[in-house]
């Protein structure tokens, strides 16, 4: 029942006409579990990722719409998966082994020790981002401040605007992207920030007239960055430095999640300076804070990073292994890290996913052997499967 | 001109007859003229060669029967077949057959059989022949030195192996240019190196070193004499060995990027790992250093390249080091 209520809550935000239409659909779809009063075998009622264990492997759990909006409103789920969520009117994630492994590590972590860096890697479309989303959900529910970059290569590949940094010579600011990230940070953490009442440790002077005094709350800092887009990059750097200090002091826990982390070390970007020279990531002001927070010199946190072939550019996509994608510099920055492999579906997961699609009436025609056929055509790759069964 | 002559000749039939008969008188004096009346004589203006000349018969010696028929049963075979030689049917008293014919027919006999001549034979290496030769050279042999009974022993005492070749040939000169070549080979593990000198030595010798067998081979042929080449090979070996211990001033400028292999000891990874292990350690407390197995796994990951196995090993070592379960 809770699930259905959530779905209605979600729908109330959609336009009235669509609402009526979809409501009809969802009530029809919801009829099945109500009748049997038992949950389908491919679903699990455990919606708290902290309670997930090997029992729930290959089963779907639903992220409540409120939480989904809080965590993933600014990105974090792949676009096509987002569309699928909208179509199915429920945000379902499959409990899979890489995420479980990470959760187990995080739960057992000694937070007084320097942060441990976990690196998700795997072929294209195997579910690195969704594994990260699963862990993010855990972090949000367990009072971790989320420092989440939904897709780092966006900054290097398609920045909204690039301007020369005011303070530092030869550096490039991405003010709009930095502000967008601050908005994302605020959306994810505003409740927790209000509860924790974190204060800045020193005064930040932005210009002659503007400054953030020491002892002001972090929310004020973030809001200043959002309001004064010109200083968004500097605000980001300040915010991250503050977070490192605060968490080392034990005032908060921080979960860093950066998708496509190898983009910070890939020298090819699409940003050009005034004299039409290519700007390497180390000359972007946003890079340094995120490299700082993935360093091992602070405590009370976890780092979940993912390395991805797609974060690279043409000619650099030969392997999905972390050392290749990070390069020497990146490897030295992260070493020692814990690599976590994300693989294609197992048979059980694949079967479960097909059942889910059937349950959502997404697969309508079920001729003899269609599951085997899909299995061979997609090679059990999650993204390939989604593409194969997508709408035209 | 000739037509006029013929006409004149025809007009004088009598003279012509007289001339012919006169010739016959002089040439065939002692032969009776039998055919004179029976056959019409042909006028022959040119002297024609005798048409049917009998071909001269080639005189052949009568074929002697093969030697094998006259061989005694207890003959000395080493005298019949003393050295390597291609097969000869008349000398080998064996009913050999070799070759392919049509189905059902027997294989061709040994006479005029190219198949038997093509294949190498060991008729000169019969056990009695070998025994005989060993007996003959025995008086030149010295007893085997004591203490060199096994291969391991003599390899320890004589690590260097020198290979030369002598040539026997039937030419006006007994010299063969190939005989000057000298090959010196030794196991590199018999030489003592430190890591720098070993690296430098391998660079100096280049492809003369075989990594799989650990054997260094120096071939010299630039001097005219075998002795000179041997001396030169040993000089090369000595010079390379001692040169490898010299550290030139420019070798200090070798940076991490120039290193041929990744070493954990001199890299950032070690600093990071030590930083994590000694986090919040008190001043003066003994420094904890990362385990050997972790260092090995990092080195293996970088040097051998990434694969699931190496990465899995690295993961296990990191988990062990950071106490992650």
Residue B200 has pLDDT above 80, yes or no: yes
Q: Are strands A116-121 and A337-341 parallel, antiparallel or unpaired?
A: parallel
Please check whether residues B187 and B167 belong to one and the same domain: yes
Please check whether residues B155 and B213 belong to one and the same domain: yes
Residue B122 has pLDDT above 70, yes or no: yes
Please check whether residues B133 and B88 belong to one and the same domain: yes
- The C-alpha atoms of residue A192 and residue A140 are separated, in whole angstroms, by 9
Edge-to-edge strand list for the sheet holding A301-306: A144-149, A253-258, A301-306, A116-121, A337-341
**Residue B318 maps to a domain:** yes
Q: What is the pTM of this model?
A: 0.69
Task: Give, in order, the Cα–Cα distances in Å from A132 to each of A98, A105, A175.
Answer: 9, 14, 26
Mean pLDDT by 10 residues, chain A (392 residues): 44 44 46 50 90 92 93 92 92 94 93 93 94 95 94 93 86 94 94 92 91 92 94 94 94 94 94 91 94 94 94 92 93 93 95 93 91 94 93 74
Please check whether residues B314 and B277 belong to one and the same domain: yes
Of B197, B227, B253, the domain-final residue = B253
Take residue A253 and report the two structure tokens written for it. 């826990």
CB atoms inside a 10 Å sphere around CB A176: 15
Of B226, B253, B280, the domain-final residue = B253
**Residue B171 maps to a domain:** yes
**Which residue in B has a C-alpha nearest to residue A115's C-alpha?**
B276
**Residue B46 maps to a domain:** no
Say if the Cβ atoms of B315 and A114 lie within 8 Å. no
pLDDT at A169: 84
Specify the DSSP element, H or E, that contains A232: helix A232-248
**Residue B30 maps to a domain:** no
- The C-alpha atoms of residue A294 and residue A259 are separated, in whole angstroms, by 12
**Residue B18 maps to a domain:** no
Say if the Cβ atoms of A297 and B275 lie within 8 Å. yes
pLDDT at A6: 47
User: Given CB atoms, is B216 within the 8 Å cutoff of chain A?
Assistant: no
**Residue B36 maps to a domain:** no
**Residue B19 maps to a domain:** no
- The C-alpha atoms of residue A24 and residue A234 are separated, in whole angstroms, by 49
Say if the Cβ atoms of B267 and A341 lie within 8 Å. no
CATH of the domain at B214: 3.30.160.20
Q: Are strands A144-149 and A163-164 parallel, antiparallel or unpaired?
A: unpaired
Task: For residue B108, give its domain range.
Answer: 75-141
pLDDT at B286: 83
Please state the ipTM of this predicted complex: 0.85
Please check whether residues B187 and B271 belong to one and the same domain: no
pLDDT at B19: 45
Q: Categorize the per-residue pLDDT at B209 as very low, low, confident or very high, splitting at 50, 70 and 90.
A: very high
**Residue B156 maps to a domain:** yes
Please check whether residues B249 and B262 belong to one and the same domain: no
Please check whether residues B300 and B316 belong to one and the same domain: yes
User: Given CB atoms, is B38 within the 8 Å cutoff of chain A?
Assistant: no
Say which of B269, B279, B323 has its CB closest to residue A335.
B269
Please check whether residues B156 and B223 belong to one and the same domain: yes
pLDDT at B25: 44
The per-residue pLDDT for range B5-16, each reduced to its tens digit, is 555 555 555 444
Please check whether residues B244 and B155 belong to one and the same domain: yes
Residue B28 has pLDDT above 80, yes or no: no
Residue B315: its chain A contacts at CB < 8 A? Answer: 338-339
pLDDT at B12: 52
Residue B325: its chain A contacts at CB < 8 A? Answer: 104-105, 108
Of B141, B169, B196, the domain-final residue = B141
Please check whether residues B108 and B193 belong to one and the same domain: no
Say if the Cβ atoms of A108 and B272 lie within 8 Å. no
pLDDT at B60: 87
Please check whether residues B269 and B249 belong to one and the same domain: no
Please check whether residues B246 and B262 belong to one and the same domain: no
pLDDT at B95: 93
- Domain count of chain B? 3
Residue B275: its chain A contacts at CB < 8 A? Answer: 114, 296-297
Average the pLDDT over each of A4-8, A35-39, B92-96, B291-295 and give the range with the smallest value: A4-8
The per-residue pLDDT for range B157-199, each reduced to its tens digit, is 999 999 999 999 889 998 999 999 999 999 999 999 998 999 8
pLDDT at B43: 79
CB contact at 8 A, A386 and A357? no
Average the pLDDT over each of A36-40, A168-172, B32-36, B76-80 and give the range with the smallest value: B32-36
Residue B32 has pLDDT above 70, yes or no: no
Q: Which conformational region is residue A76 in: left (phi greater than 0), alpha (psi within -120 to 50 degrees), or beta?
A: left
């Amino acid at each position: 029942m809770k699930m259905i209520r959530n779905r209605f809550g979600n729908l109330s935000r959609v336009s009235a006409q669509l609402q009526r239409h979809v409501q009809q659909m969802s009530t029809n779809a919801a009829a099945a579990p109500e009748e049997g009063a038992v949950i389908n075998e491919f679903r699990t009622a455990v919606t708290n990722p902290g309670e997930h264990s090997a029992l729930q492997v290959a089963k779907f759990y639903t992220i409540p719409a409120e939480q989904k909006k809080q965590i993933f409103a600014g990105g974090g789920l792949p676009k096509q998966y987002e569309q699928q969520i909208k179509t199915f009117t429920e945000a379902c994630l499959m409990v899979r082994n890489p995420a479980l492994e990470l959760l187990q590590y995080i739960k057992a972590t000694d937070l007084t020790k320097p942060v441990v860096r976990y690196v998700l890697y795997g072929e294209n479309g195997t579910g690195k981002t969704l594994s990260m989303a699963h862990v993010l959900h855990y972090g949000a529910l367990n009072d971790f401040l989320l420092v989440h970059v939904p897709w780092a290569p966006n900054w290097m590949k398609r920045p909204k605007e690039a301007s020369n940094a005011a303070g530092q010579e030869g550096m490039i600011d991405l003010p709009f992207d930095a502000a967008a990230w601050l908005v994302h940070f605020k959306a994810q953490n505003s409740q927790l920030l209000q509860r924790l009442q974190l204060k800045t440790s020193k005064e930040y002077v932005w210009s002659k007239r503007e400054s953030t005094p020491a002892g002001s709350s972090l929310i004020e800092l973030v809001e200043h960055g959002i309001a004064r887009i010109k200083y968004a990059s500097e605000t980001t750097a300040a915010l991250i430095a503050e977070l490192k200090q605060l968490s080392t002091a034990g005032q908060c826990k921080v979960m860093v999640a950066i998708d496509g982390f190898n983009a910070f070390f890939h020298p090819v970007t699409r940003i050009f300076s005034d004299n039409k020279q290519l700007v390497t990531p180390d000359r972007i002001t946003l890079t340094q804070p995120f490299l700082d927070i993935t360093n091992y010199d602070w405590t009370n946190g976890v780092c979940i990073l993912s390395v991805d072939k797609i974060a690279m550019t043409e000619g650099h996509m030969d392997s999905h292994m972390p050392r290749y994608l990070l390069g020497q510099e990146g490897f030295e920055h992260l070493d020692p890290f814990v690599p976590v492999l994300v693989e294609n579906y197992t048979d059980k997961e694949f079967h479960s996913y097909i059942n889910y699609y059937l349950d959502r009436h997404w697969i309508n025609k079920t001729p003899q052997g269609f599951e085997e056929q899909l299995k061979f055509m997609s090679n059990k790759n999650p993204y390939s499967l989604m593409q194969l069964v997508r709408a035209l | 001109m000739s037509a006029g002559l013929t006409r004149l000749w025809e007009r004088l039939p009598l003279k012509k007859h007289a001339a012919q008969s006169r010739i016959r008188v002089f040439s065939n004096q002692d032969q009776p003229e039998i055919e004179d009346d029976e056959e019409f004589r042909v006028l022959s203006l040119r002297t024609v060669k005798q048409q049917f000349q009998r071909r001269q018969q080639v005189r052949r010696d009568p074929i002697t029967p093969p030697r094998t028929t006259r061989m005694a049963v207890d003959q000395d075979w080493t005298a019949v077949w003393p050295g390597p030689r291609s097969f000869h049917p008349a000398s080998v008293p064996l009913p050999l057959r070799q070759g392919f014919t049509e189905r059902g027919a027997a294989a061709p006999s040994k006479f005029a059989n190219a198949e038997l001549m093509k294949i190498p034979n060991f008729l000169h290496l019969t056990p009695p022949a070998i025994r005989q030769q060993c007996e003959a050279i025995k008086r030149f042999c010295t007893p085997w030195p004591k203490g060199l009974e096994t291969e391991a022993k003599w390899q320890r005492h004589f690590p260097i192996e020198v290979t030369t070749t002598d040539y026997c040939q039937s030419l006006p000169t007994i010299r063969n240019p190939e005989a000057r070549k000298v090959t010196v080979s030794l196991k590199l593990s018999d030489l003592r190196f430190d890591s720098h000198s070993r690296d430098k030595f391998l660079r100096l010798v280049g492809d003369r070193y075989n990594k799989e067998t650990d054997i260094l081979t120096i071939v010299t042929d630039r001097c005219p004499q075998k002795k000179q080449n041997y001396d030169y090979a040993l000089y090369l070996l000595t010079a390379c060995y001692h040169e490898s211990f010299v550290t030139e001033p420019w070798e200090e400028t070798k940076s991490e990027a120039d290193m041929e292999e990744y070493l954990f000891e001199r890299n950032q990874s070690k600093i990071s790992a030590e930083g994590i292990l000694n986090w919040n350690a008190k001043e003066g407390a003994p420094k904890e250093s990362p385990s050997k197995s972790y260092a090995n796994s990092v080195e293996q990951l970088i040097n051998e390249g990434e694969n699931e196995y190496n990465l899995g090993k690295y993961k296990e070592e990191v988990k062990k080091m950071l106490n992650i379960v």
